[in-house]
Structure 1
Amino acid sequence: MKKYILSFLILTLLASCSDYQQLELNPNLPTSVPSSIILRNVLNGMNEGAWDDNMRYNQFYCSNYAYYDTNEYNWQNASLQFTTLKNVVKLEEEALKSGAKALNPYSALGKFLRAYSYTNMTLRVGDLPVKDALKGIEVDKPKYDTQKDVFIQVLKWLEESNNDLAALITAGDNSLEGDIYYAGDLRKWQKAVNTFRLRVLVHLSKKADDADLKVKQDFAAIIANPTKYPLMTDLSESLQYVWSVNNKYPRNPDNLGNNATRENMAKTYIDLLKNNNDPRLFVVAEPAAAQIAKGLKATDVEAYVGASSGEDLADMSSKAGRGEYSFQSRARYYSSYTGENTFIVSYPEMCFNISEAINRGWVTGNAQDWYERGVKASMSFYGIADATAYLAQASVKYAGNNAAGLTQILSQKYIAFFQNSGYEAYFNWRRTGVPTFLTGTGTGNGNKIPLRFKYPQLEQTTNTQNLSEALTRQFGVGIEGENINAAMWLIK
């Protein structure tokens, strides 16, 4: 009898647990989300914006009003993208749950999105968890892989993404949904993947001779085989964010009164344009009122004045108030809600990256041709149809595959990064020293431009031992000694 009673109690208990689990479920909340919705969210997050902190740190413009912002580089903890990467894992899982084959557009793009996120993160901080990452409670304190190993994995993902996309294109798969950039066109995505891969390889220029990374060999292989590794062919194929009336361009009629005159153009950027009589100057900026009062015309390059990012903020504010500095073009940036498209990975950048690789001797080719293609594409973005006269100037005409030519390439790439591509202008300065970034009281940090961000505060408290080991390996210090001015492996 006791035996039957015990069995009945066990069955009752199991039934009660099952009932409780059922009661726990909220019928009003979805238990599954389509991959297309997750993808749209992840892709939307790739847009790093314009006229924001990134662009001040790139020294394209300055804040002259302390209430909104300063120009100081007193960087603290980085915001990393592991939540985004969890969403990438989820979109791949949901694709399989919905019946997709093992090889599908979401898995192919997932590899690119992993590579894109890890590249952006490692460029900010250095070493990162890769092998132990994204395993949930299975590995809640992941160990850090070296920055070199991070890049090896990034390049592997990009190779696989290219190959997977090629196979899907051959199979005629057009099942990608939720794509806000290329409307499901896998051919354009394949070009974006390979164009981004060139960016990654250029970031590794100081490690070009590393036998494990194979920087020169990989770059040459991509350029030599356009059938296997198709690249962007014009400006329209750029990976770019298109603003809308629902998601407004950062400068628009709504905030004209807030910041149009509380931000002025930066000398680093403006002087590059002035020194080369660059017609883009007249598109992006307004002449300084004080210069016009002296008799200069809006068509005179000397009418345009940028402030040093290192200038004391109070002095900059006073001078801006007296009309001594140029403001951003209100006609261009405040006249609509949709503004200009914001590049994430662009055709002009690709042209300059190829030109740089040729200049450095990684690949054969005509560096001048690619350099001029990049300039012309950037000009066309601003509605300037003819760059012939500009390119013919002694200061702009390509100086050859030498140090002077390289400086020209890097300077033009910097100009083409204006208000797009996130921190790329800063990352290229950090790698090459071009252009010269200005410092002073206004930039803080002991008149130095920092070389990295610190790791997130949460990582310091929840993964202390592994982070401390990574910091010691990279910089010879533990968590307490972490320093934004320390040079990471990439730039040594």
Structure 2
Amino acid sequence: MLKKLAYITLFAVSLTSCSDTLDEINKNPNATETPLAPYLLTGTLKQSADLYWGDVNNFNSSLLFVQHWAKIQYTEPDRYDVSNTSFTSLWNTGYATLITDLNTILNFPADQANSNYKGIALTLRSWTFLLLTDAYGSIPYKEAGLKVTPAYNTQKEVYTGLLEDLKNAQDLLGVGNGAVTGDLSYKGDILKWKRLVNSLRLRIALRISDREPALAKQAAIDATSDAAGVLASNNDTFKFTYTSSPQQNPASAWFETRDDFRISKTMVDKLTELTDPRLPVYAQLPSDASVGKYVGGANGLSNSDANSQGFAKTSKPGTYFLTSASPAVIVSYSEVLFNLSEAAARGYIAGDAEQLYKDAITASFNQFGITNATVISNYLNQASVKYDAANYAKSIGTQKWIAFFGQGLDAFTEWRRLDYPVLTAGPATVLDGKIPSRFFYPGTEQSLNGTSYQAAIAVQGKDLLTTKLWFDIK
């Protein structure tokens, strides 16, 4: 209880200026409904954004694996020279903080959390479990939060269980089911939460598509035929908008005191090849004005070789991503359109896969402030951008990889699933020319939950960065 009181006090003090929603909560201390659920929701959203966009799981790991960013010094993570202490943040915060607090909301009586709070909590818990299984594979799911040493479920079991959880979340959510405060993402707009639920259901349908096509097809139909629909515009994008220190974007906070990342040469080269107008959004010109063009840092170099590229002669990630108020986009409208395109290409749903692909690219451009119709049309009409129905995975995979810039965890998952673009490990990497296929389990699992851990790896495979997960069949 003391922990929860401290938690509530922290957010009451530090976030009262973040939104009108919190101001309203603070003005009503005598409300009949306890403010615990709103504050837990606020805290979960903030910590989820920090976890997803922060250094450990994003720009110091998954963004390097998918070659969005590169290290120009301290290159060990970019060479995959890491250990089972390197990926504890996603696991520990996911279980000990996010899932624990969301379960608290789910377990509240009705007078402490109405049906909409519980629907939102179940949605966010499902998203958290999805991140965990995408990164590690088999994870504690059914027994998580119920036992000290929970059994692991296979990735198939987790994905299918989450489809049911999200169906239940959809049933809990309703515009007449009570007001929600403390929601810094959708401001209590339940229709947007319902669209997010269906968008996550569609995402999972594609995760299982190469293993369970019949179930995937039904899940895609269910998600897209639900009356609420999926995300319908960039205004529906699920994101957390930061403000100023200490509630600032984690990448912005990092670059205030450090200078060890650059945009990857792989990304710069691809954007340059395509004359992609997102390049000046994704990258800054080198500080040495004599360079005069965008120059990415190569991935997987030794410290000395990385340093020798020149701090002033290489491009930092764009200021769009490095300002205090840069938003943490978690589920974008662009991603949903790409997913609809793929679902149509696979024959799961009706629709024009090519047009949805074009719409997805357009939505990404719009997301980053590029709205000129001629610029967009010229880009889409390039031979190297046009949709290839004979290889939709290449078209969608490449453009989704570009659109996911900065969203390392999901870019990493989709790159493994679609196998495009083709990436090559850097020259000083330590996995015999391979790029990681997963995160290590935290070392504490071996000591604190050893029986379950051993049972999991006996089925999934050795606890190595190169062990492919269930969804990743190629």
* TM-score, shorter chain, exceeding 0.5: yes
1:151 counterpart residue number: 159
Cα shift at 1:286: 3.4
1:91 counterpart residue number: 105
| DSSP-derived class of the 1:344 partner | strand
1:116-131 equivalences under 5 Å are 116-131=127-142
Aligned residues: 430
Residue 314 in 1 paired to residue 295 in 2?
no
2:13 counterpart residue number: none
In the alignment, is the contact (CA less than 8 A) between 1:452 and 1:484 conserved in 2?
yes
The one of 360, 368, 390 equivalent to 1:402 is 390
| DSSP-derived class of the 2:329 partner | strand
For 2:311 and 2:124, locate their aligned partners in 1 and report how far apart those are by CA, in whole Å.
44
| DSSP-derived class of the 2:99 partner | helix
The one of 381, 397, 400 equivalent to 1:413 is 400
In the alignment, is the contact (CA less than 8 A) between 1:359 and 1:406 conserved in 2?
no
1:332-343 equivalences under 5 Å are 332=320, 336-338=323-325, 340-343=326-329
Cα shift at 1:90: 1.1
Residue 365 in 1 paired to residue 351 in 2?
yes
In the alignment, is the contact (CA less than 8 A) between 1:73 and 1:450 conserved in 2?
yes
1:275 counterpart residue number: 273
For 1:434 and 1:153, locate their aligned partners in 2 and report how far apart those are by CA, in whole Å.
28
2:333 counterpart residue number: 347
1:249 counterpart residue number: 249
1:96-135 equivalences under 5 Å are 96=110, 98-100=111-113, 104-135=115-146
- CA deviations over 1:269-312 (Å, ceiling 9, x no partner): 1122111111111232234578x748xxx5xxxx3332331333
1:71 counterpart residue number: 78
In the alignment, is the contact (CA less than 8 A) between 2:286 and 2:312 conserved in 1?
no
In the alignment, is the contact (CA less than 8 A) between 2:438 and 2:467 conserved in 1?
yes
1:19 counterpart residue number: none
| DSSP-derived class of the 1:220 partner | helix
Cα shift at 1:252: 4.4
1:159-198 equivalences under 5 Å are 159-165=167-173, 168-169=174-175, 172-198=176-202
1:436 counterpart residue number: 422
Shift of the 257–92 alpha-carbon distance from structure 1 to 2, 3 Å rule, reads closer
Scaled by the length of structure 1, the TM-score of the pair is 0.80
The one of 140, 143, 146 equivalent to 2:148 is 140
Shift of the 30–355 alpha-carbon distance from structure 1 to 2, 3 Å rule, reads closer
- CA deviations over 1:206-226 (Å, ceiling 9, x no partner): 2143x5xx1012212333x25
| DSSP-derived class of the 2:258 partner | helix
The one of 440, 461, 464 equivalent to 1:483 is 464
Residue 304 in 1 paired to residue 317 in 2?
no
Cα shift at 1:182: 0.6
In the alignment, is the contact (CA less than 8 A) between 2:72 and 2:311 conserved in 1?
no
Cα shift at 1:39: 1.3
2:239 counterpart residue number: 240
In the alignment, is the contact (CA less than 8 A) between 2:393 and 2:418 conserved in 1?
no
| DSSP-derived class of the 1:62 partner | strand
2:437 counterpart residue number: 451
Residue 216 in 1 paired to residue 220 in 2?
no
For 1:375 and 1:64, locate their aligned partners in 2 and report how far apart those are by CA, in whole Å.
30
Cα shift at 1:74: 3.2
Residue identity (%) = 27
For 1:487 and 1:472, locate their aligned partners in 2 and report how far apart those are by CA, in whole Å.
14
- CA deviations over 1:11-51 (Å, ceiling 9, x no partner): xxxxxxxxxxxxx999x989997111111111212211167
| DSSP-derived class of the 1:90 partner | helix
Cα RMSD after superposing both structures: 2.8
| DSSP-derived class of the 2:366 partner | helix
| DSSP-derived class of the 1:443 partner | coil
Shift of the 361–483 alpha-carbon distance from structure 1 to 2, 3 Å rule, reads same
Scaled by the length of structure 2, the TM-score of the pair is 0.83
For 2:44 and 2:54, locate their aligned partners in 1 and report how far apart those are by CA, in whole Å.
19
| DSSP-derived class of the 1:196 partner | helix
Letter in 1 for 2:42: R
Structure 1, 310-319 or 188-197: larger mean CA deviation: 310-319
| DSSP-derived class of the 2:471 partner | helix
Letter in 2 for 1:314: S
Cα shift at 1:380: 1.3
In the alignment, is the contact (CA less than 8 A) between 2:64 and 2:70 conserved in 1?
yes
Letter in 2 for 1:57: F
| DSSP-derived class of the 2:53 partner | coil
- CA deviations over 1:51-99 (Å, ceiling 9, x no partner): 7223233311212122x86512234334312112111111223353x45
| DSSP-derived class of the 1:414 partner | helix
Letter in 1 for 2:106: E
1:390 counterpart residue number: 379
For 1:352 and 1:238, locate their aligned partners in 2 and report how far apart those are by CA, in whole Å.
14
Q: Whose Rg is larger?
A: 1
2:95 counterpart residue number: 82
- CA deviations over 1:166-213 (Å, ceiling 9, x no partner): xx22xx23421211101111111001111121111112232143x5xx
2:31 counterpart residue number: none
In the alignment, is the contact (CA less than 8 A) between 2:72 and 2:297 conserved in 1?
no
The one of 249, 261, 264 equivalent to 1:263 is 261
Alignment gaps of 5+ in structure 2? 9-33
The one of 20, 40, 43 equivalent to 1:41 is 43
Cα shift at 1:148: 1.2
For 2:287 and 2:243, locate their aligned partners in 1 and report how far apart those are by CA, in whole Å.
32
Letter in 2 for 1:39: L
Shift of the 468–412 alpha-carbon distance from structure 1 to 2, 3 Å rule, reads same
Cα shift at 1:322: 6.8
1:5 counterpart residue number: none
